[in-house]
Amino acid sequence: MFKASINGPNRRKNRVGSSLSTPETTKNQQDQEKVEAPLRFRVKRSTDDNTPSEEGHACYFTANSIAGKELIRQHQLQLSQSEVTQQEGQNDPILIHFHDIPVFVLRAIPIDEQQTDTNPVRKGEEDVGTMYISEVHCHNHKICEDSIYKVTCCSRPPTQNDNGDYDELAAVEVEVLLRNTRSDEFNMEVQEDSKHIYPETPSFSATSIAKHLMNHTYSCVLSVNEMMTISIEGIELVCRLSQIRIVSNAKEALGGGLTSAEASMDEPYRGKVAVNTEFYITSGASEALSHVTIEGERKLPTGQLPEDVIHVTTSDLEWFPVRRVLLAPCIKLTRYVQAGRGKYVNDALPLLSDEDRSDDAPIDDNCPHCKVPIDCCTFDRILLFIVSLLYPSEYKFVLNLSEVNAMADAAEALGLQPLIDLCTSQSSSFDSRVRKDRYIRFAEVKRRNDLGGELLILLDGMVLDITRWLEEHPGGPSIIPSQALNMDCTVFFEMYHVSRQSFLYLKSFYIGELSPEDHAALSSSAEGVSASDAFLQSLRSYTNEWRVKISENVSVEIHKSF
C-alpha cells in the first residue's frame, strides 16, 4: 500500500488514452494506422427533442459527421486489435473520455443528424461533430455547453490486463441523495413552483435502486466519485459511486503473474459493470435536506489484506502493508520475506513490540512485522522504485538529485543493490563491479573460493559473488558451499528455485562471464542431468538484458547450455 505517490490518475494502471498497443499488427497496418485524426465535438445539452429515448448512462454523438465517423473507426480498430472476443449477439459499446487524463469514461451512442438552415456547419468546424450530453455528465467531466472539446476513444484500455478489457466490477457502493432538496421552512419559498417538493423524507428500496442502476449502467465503465441520476416514481435521485471491488483471479503469490496493481495493492478505482456486479446502496449525508431513507441499506464490506503481506513500520511509526514480492529484492529483509519457509520454517513469526509497531498495524492476522530505519516518505519512494524494477514496461522511476543521499542510505539499510547502483550512478557502480573487458577464468574463481572470504558460484556461464547473501540464504549457509562450489550449479538452481523470485537477486551478485574455454572442463552439480530448455529460456529472458558481451575472438558461444 502506497501512502500517496502511486495514487491519482497519472499513476493508475488502468490509465487509458489514445495510444494503442498493437504488438500483433503488421508493419503496413502500423504505418497506415500510426496517425489518428483528432476527434473534436461541440457539446450540447441533451433533451427529449434532440436525442432518442433514455438509454442509460450514456451520451450521443452525430455518426454522420467527420468526427463521428472517425470515432466509430477508432472504436472498431481498438476492438480488432484486442484479444477480447465479443459474445455472440452483443456489441461492445463505444467508450470515450474528455481531456488528456481520463478521470471518467463515458459510453457514447451514435445517432444520425441532418444539417439544416437552423443548424448549419460553422466555418472552420467542418470536422467537428456534435455530442449531446446530460447535465450530470457535464458536471462529471467538467465540460461546458456549446464548447468544442477533444475526445479520445478508449473502448479498450491500451495497458490491457489478462482479458484485454477493463476489469469487471464485482461490487460497488453507491450513496444516494435527492437531486432536489425536500421542502421545509428554509427552502419552501424557493421550490414552491417546482414539481419536486418532498414534505417528508422519501423512502426507497435498495433492491429497486440497484435494479435501476443495473439497467442504467450495464456494460458501462464506472469510476469512483462518478455521479449518476435515476428516476423512481417521478423522483430524481443522484447516485455517487463511493467504493468499488473488481473481480480478482487467483494467482501465485510471487512470480506467478501478479499484475503491478495486485503487487502494490493499488486500490481499484474503475471497472466495467457486468451481469454479476452487485450494488450496495447507502443513504447520503443524514443531516442534509437531500437525505433519503433506504430500506435494506448495506455498506460494502471492508476489503481483506492478502495473506502474503508484511507489516512494515517506518522510523516515524507509519504503517505500510507490503506484499512479499515487493520486498524480495531487499536482501536484509529476507528473514521477513521468507518467514515460514526454508530455514525459517520453524522460527517464530517475526513481530514487533508495542513500542516499535505503528498503532495502525494489525496484530492478529498471522503476518510478519518488521521495522525499517527509514521515514515514510523515503520508504514510499523505495516501493515505487521496486515497482519500476519489477514492472519496467509500466512504470519508470526518476531519481531526483535532492533525494540521492536519503535513498542511498535507505538502499544500504535494506540491502537493495539495484538502488545502490542507481544512487552511486546509473553506470559507475555496476561497471566497477562487473568485469567487462575480459572473461573470468575458472582458475581465478577456484582460487578466490579457496582463499576464503569470498564465495563465487557459476550459473549458466555467469560468475556470481554471493558472499554477502550466504547467511541470508533461505536454504541455510551450508548447502551452497557443499553442493555448488567450483562447478556449474545451473541444474541445482532449477531444482531448488521453482519461481522467478530468485532471478531478482542475480544482477546484484553478477560480476562477469566465465571464459568459454573453461566450459567444456566444468563439471555439473548433477552429473548426467541438464537444466531444462524451458528454465534456461526463462532465465536468459531475464538476464540477457544486463549480461556483458565480451569483445574477444572466441569460437565457443558464451551462453551455451551445459
Question: What DSSP string runs through 205-260?
Answer: EHHHHHHHHHHHHTT-EEETT-EEEEEETTEEEEEEEEEEEE------SSSSS--H
pTM (2 d.p.): 0.59
> What dotted CATH number matches 442-543?
3.10.120.10
**Residue 369 CA to its chain's centroid (Å):** 25
Q: What are the counts of helices (DSSP H) followed by strands (DSSP E) for the chain?
A: 17, 20
3-state class percentages of the chain: helix first, strand second, coil last, to nearest 5: 30, 20, 50
Q: What's residue 288's pLDDT?
A: 59
Spatial contact of 104 and 152, defined as CB atoms under 8 Å apart: no
Please report, for residues 27, 29, 81, 258, 391, the alpha-carbon distance to residue 24 in angstroms, rounded to integers and kept in the order given.
Answer: 9, 10, 8, 23, 21
Q: Provide the residue-wise pLDDT of the chain in tens; the chain has 562 residues.
A: 444 334 333 333 333 333 323 333 334 444 334 445 678 999 998 876 767 655 678 999 999 899 999 999 999 988 887 766 554 335 788 999 998 888 899 999 999 876 544 456 666 667 899 999 988 899 899 999 889 999 999 988 865 555 567 889 999 999 998 887 654 433 433 344 444 555 577 889 999 999 999 999 998 999 999 999 998 888 889 999 999 988 865 444 444 567 788 888 888 889 999 999 999 999 986 655 667 889 999 998 877 788 889 999 999 999 999 999 999 999 999 999 999 888 888 889 999 999 999 999 998 888 999 999 999 999 999 999 999 999 898 888 988 766 888 899 999 999 999 999 888 865 556 777 889 889 999 999 999 999 988 999 999 999 999 988 888 787 888 888 888 889 999 998 988 886 777 787 788 889 999 999 998 788 776 777 888 999 999 999 889 888 998 875 544 444 433 3
CB atoms closer than 10 angstroms to residue 350: 17
- Record the cell numbers describing residue 236, joined without a space: 430524481
Q: State the fold for domain 169-187+194-295.
A: Vcp-like ATPase; Chain A, domain 2 (3.10.330)
107 neighbors 219 (Cβ within 8 angstroms): yes
**Do 413 and 379 contact (CB within 8 A), yes or no?**
no
Backbone angles phi, psi at 323, to 5 degrees: -70, 150
Question: Could you tell me the three cell numbers for 486?
Answer: 567450483
- Decide: 43 and 133 in contact? Cβ < 8 Å: yes
Which option is the CATH number for 17-153: 2.40.40.20, 1.10.3720.10, 3.40.50.1820, 3.40.50.1980?
2.40.40.20
In degrees and rounded to multiples of 5, residue 318 shows phi and psi of: -95, 150
The pLDDT assigned to 31 comes to 39
**Distance separating alpha carbons of residues 105 and 169, to the nearest angstrom:** 14
Q: Alpha-carbon distance 423 to 425, whole Å?
A: 5
pLDDT value for 213: 94
Can you give the pLDDT at residue 401? 63
Which cell goes with 358?
A: 505503528
The predicted structure's pLDDT at residue 152:
92
Burial zone of 11 (CB within 10 Å; 0-12 exposed, 13-18 middle, 19+ buried):
middle
Domains of the chain, residue spans: 17-153, 169-187+194-295, 309-433, 442-543
Grid coordinates representing 397? 522511476
Q: Into which CATH architecture does domain 309-433 fall? A: 2-Layer Sandwich (3.30)
**Beta-sheet strands, E only, within 376-506:** 456-459, 462-465
Fold match, 169-187+194-295 / 309-433? no
